[in-house]
Structure 1
Amino acid sequence: MKIAVIGSKGLPPRQGGIEHYCAEVYPRMVAQGHQVDLFARSSWIHLPWYQSCRFHGVQVISLPCPGKRGLDGLISSSLGAIACLGKRYDIIHFHALGPSLFCWLPRMAASAKVVVSCHGLDWQREKWGNCSSCLIWLGEQVAIRCSDQIIVVSEALVDYFQDTYAVEAINIPNGPASYWQSDPTFSFVKLLGLEPQKYLLFLGRLVPEKCPDLLIQAFQRLTSTGWKLAIVGGQSDAPAYQMNLFKLAAANPNIIFAGELKERYLAEIVRGAGLFILPSNLEGLPLAMLEAMQEGIPVVASDIPPHRQLIGMNRGRLFHAGDLESCIQMIDWAIQHSKEMKKMAQKAQEHVQTWYGWDGITAATLRTYESLLCPPRSKVKPATELIQR
């Protein structure tokens, strides 16, 4: 198959779930004999316009971009859709709802089958202004009308598209990234003033929908002593919110803002955590949680549907989303019941290894492509049959 990919910032990945997905899945497709062209932002890959490079066999093509938040995605997606029209692709795969605003172009002017992956309902995220949210929502409407197949990353999103549009989406989840080797003595963790296994870890962008403010307030009211809170996250698209977080934690020396961490430093701080906490109100399928589960770190999270999918069935503990008292009680319980939490973490680790492997995710995606190209001969199986290693 000849496959085009639109919506990724580019490869190699530096941050972002879509970029890590592309880095795992498309090289595997190339290794199986398929051709993959990924249209990227020149501001991300730092190549002159329309030049290309290779990432593990994937051809990464640079498209003009101004390097401004919001405009980059809009411009690169539209140019990518136009660039696909004369190249006889079999599959054109759009990632995220915003870029899908332009999926009508290949549907109208090319013979390729159009696939859209929804990694989350991005128009609900508070970081986007009214205009951007409206455009992303419009991308969802275009995807419903113009794509040949919608792929989603969680069971909750399957239900959303069925209930809202009576559209049958296919659930193919993302998988966790593999962490680097890290210092077994936890020298970096100790340099931050943290003691291994004695700190809570929040890992994610510092944005309102992930609710790090709720976690800070909960931590400040914990009855358990001797623990600290490490907040790991990159630059936020909501700087005023980020400043409010700093003010909220300013009087507490046991709250450590570690900034954005990568490679061995990220691996070390995750592996040293006593508990991984994710209090989000909105997620697609949280990769940070998947990665913590893969590393065997006990998890406490809000009870939104994607979190229930991952750590339900006694693989972690859930508290009521947005409820400060419930959050405090559940974290306190988890600290006081470390043996029970370790057993849950082991179950969670086994669950990730069984159902969220990248080989299975790649196979499921290819079968979806094949079902569109050869519908009488191929039938897409349920995700529960496809995502096993």
Structure 2
Amino acid sequence: MKIAVIGAKGLPPKQGGIEHYCAEVYPRIVEQGHSVDLYARSSYTDCSWQDRYDYQGVQVISLPGLPLKGVDAFATSAIGAIAASATKYDIIHFHALGPSLFTCLPRLVNTAKIVVTCQGLDWQRAKWGSFSTRVIQLGEKAAVRFAHELMVVSDALQTYFWQTYGRKTVYIPNAPASYGESDPNFGYGTQLGLEQGRYMLFLGRLVPEKRPDLLVDAFSALNPPGWKLVLAGGVSDTKSFTSELLEKVANNPNIIFAGELRGQRLWEIVRGAGLFVLPSDVEGLPLAMLEAMQEGIPVVASDIPPHKQLISGARGKLFEAGNLNSCISTLDWAIHHPQELRVMAVNAQRHIQLNYSWDHITSETLKLYTKLLNSPQPVHISEQRQTGLAEVVGKK
């Protein structure tokens, strides 16, 4: 199979769930004898327009964009869709709803099968203005209308597309990255003034919808003796929010901003944490949480559906999303119940090992591609919706 990938910033991954997803799945697909072209942003790859390079067998092709907030992604995706439409591909795979606005181009002029993966409802993210939000919502509608198959990474997303559009989707989750060896002496953590098992960790982009501000407020109010809070993550078009957040923590010596961590430093800080906390209002299926669970770190998270999917059933503790008092009381409980947390962490680790594997995800993705290539054209979406709604009515 010859496969085109549109919507990822580029490879190797620096930050962002989509880039890490592509870095895990597409090299595995190449290993099985297929070819993959990934259309990337030159602003991310630092390469000239149309430069091509190899990443573990994946051909990464740099495309121009526009150096404006929100516009770069759409411009590169449009050019990628045009380039892919002019090339003979078997599969053209769009990642995220914004880039999916351009699924109509190859669908109309190319025989390739169109696949869209939705990692989350991006129009809910606070970094987008009203115009960008509307464009992303149009991308969602285009994905529903033009994609031969729509993949989702969580049960909540599958429910959303069915209830909103009557559109059946294919559920294939994310999986955690495999960590390498880290410093057993905890050298970098010691430099930061940390003690193993005695700090909470927030790991993710410092953006409003992930609510690091709520966690900072909860930790400051709780002020647990002997504990620290580490904020680790990069900035994504939200510099003003980040500046306000850093001003808020500047005078608290127990809150440490570690910046964006990678490689051994990241692995060391995750493994040394006493508690991983993700207070997000919006998520798809968070890779950072999957990785913490895989490493056996106890998890506390907001009670949004993707988090419930991962840690319900005695695999972690949930608090009411956006509720400061609920966050404070849950963190307080976690600090004072280490035995119960250890049991939850073991349950979570076992759950991830059994249910979330990149080899399995790659296999399921290839099965989907093969099924598409061997199947006739799908039912038109309007007919699919009517059929789906009829099925629902028939069940009542």
Deviations 1:177-220 (A, max 9, x none): 12232111111111111111000111111111111111111112
Give, in angstroms, the shift of residue 261 of structure 1. 1.2
> Which shows bigger deviation, 78-87 or 143-152?
78-87
Q: Which runs of 5+ in 2 are unaligned?
A: 377-396
Question: 2 CA distance for matches of 1:47 and 1:225?
Answer: 49
Question: 2 CA distance for matches of 1:210 and 1:372?
Answer: 36
5 Å-filtered alignment, 1:186-197, equals: 186-197=186-197
Give, in angstroms, the shift of residue 2 of structure 1. 1.1
Amino acid at match of 1:288: A
1:380 aligned partner:
none
Amino acid at match of 2:143: A
Question: 1 CA distance for matches of 2:193 and 2:175?
Answer: 31
Question: Contact between 2:230 and 2:255, CA under 8 Å: does it hold in 1?
Answer: yes
Q: Secondary structure of 1:117's match?
A: strand
Give, in angstroms, the shift of residue 272 of structure 1. 0.6
1:139 aligned partner:
139
Deviations 1:276-296 (A, max 9, x none): 001111101111101111111
Change in 2 beyond 3 A, CA 1:64/1:243: closer
Are 1:199 and 2:203 an aligned pair? no
Provide the identity percentage.
60
Amino acid at match of 1:51: D
2:83 aligned partner:
83
Give, in angstroms, the shift of residue 248 of structure 1. 2.4
Give, in angstroms, the shift of residue 223 of structure 1. 6.3
Question: Contact between 2:88 and 2:112, CA under 8 Å: does it hold in 1?
Answer: yes
1:383 aligned partner:
none
5 Å-filtered alignment, 1:1-389, equals: 1-222=1-222, 224-375=224-375
Q: Secondary structure of 1:84's match?
A: helix
Amino acid at match of 2:208: P
Q: Secondary structure of 2:222's match?
A: coil
> Which shows bigger deviation, 237-246 or 71-80?
237-246
Deviations 1:27-83 (A, max 9, x none): 111111111111111222222222311111111112122343322211111111111
Q: Secondary structure of 2:139's match?
A: helix
Q: Secondary structure of 2:225's match?
A: coil
Amino acid at match of 1:100: S
Q: Secondary structure of 1:47's match?
A: coil
Question: Contact between 1:93 and 1:116, CA under 8 Å: does it hold in 2?
Answer: yes
TM-score, normalised via structure 1 length: 0.94
Question: 1 CA distance for matches of 2:236 and 2:87?
Answer: 38
Q: Secondary structure of 1:221's match?
A: helix
Give, in angstroms, the shift of residue 246 of structure 1. 2.1
> Which shows bigger deviation, 198-207 or 241-250?
241-250
Q: Secondary structure of 1:277's match?
A: strand
Question: Contact between 2:207 and 2:235, CA under 8 Å: does it hold in 1?
Answer: no
Give, in angstroms, the shift of residue 235 of structure 1. 2.1
Give, in angstroms, the shift of residue 331 of structure 1. 0.8
Question: 2 CA distance for matches of 1:133 and 1:123?
Answer: 5
Amino acid at match of 2:240: A
What CA RMSD, in Å, does the superposition of the two structures yield over aligned residues?
1.3
Q: Secondary structure of 1:256's match?
A: strand
> Which shows bigger deviation, 171-180 or 23-32?
171-180
Question: Contact between 2:320 and 2:327, CA under 8 Å: does it hold in 1?
Answer: yes
Question: 2 CA distance for matches of 1:269 and 1:368?
Answer: 37
> Which shows bigger deviation, 264-273 or 79-88?
79-88
Question: 1 CA distance for matches of 2:353 and 2:340?
Answer: 20
Give, in angstroms, the shift of residue 251 of structure 1. 3.3
Deviations 1:216-241 (A, max 9, x none): 11112226411111111112422222
Deviations 1:73-99 (A, max 9, x none): 111111111111232211100000000
> Which shows bigger deviation, 111-120 or 366-375?
366-375
The number of residue pairs the alignment matches comes to: 376
Question: 2 CA distance for matches of 1:5 and 1:288?
Answer: 23
Change in 2 beyond 3 A, CA 1:223/1:20: closer
Question: Contact between 2:156 and 2:305, CA under 8 Å: does it hold in 1?
Answer: yes
Question: Contact between 1:85 and 1:110, CA under 8 Å: does it hold in 2?
Answer: yes
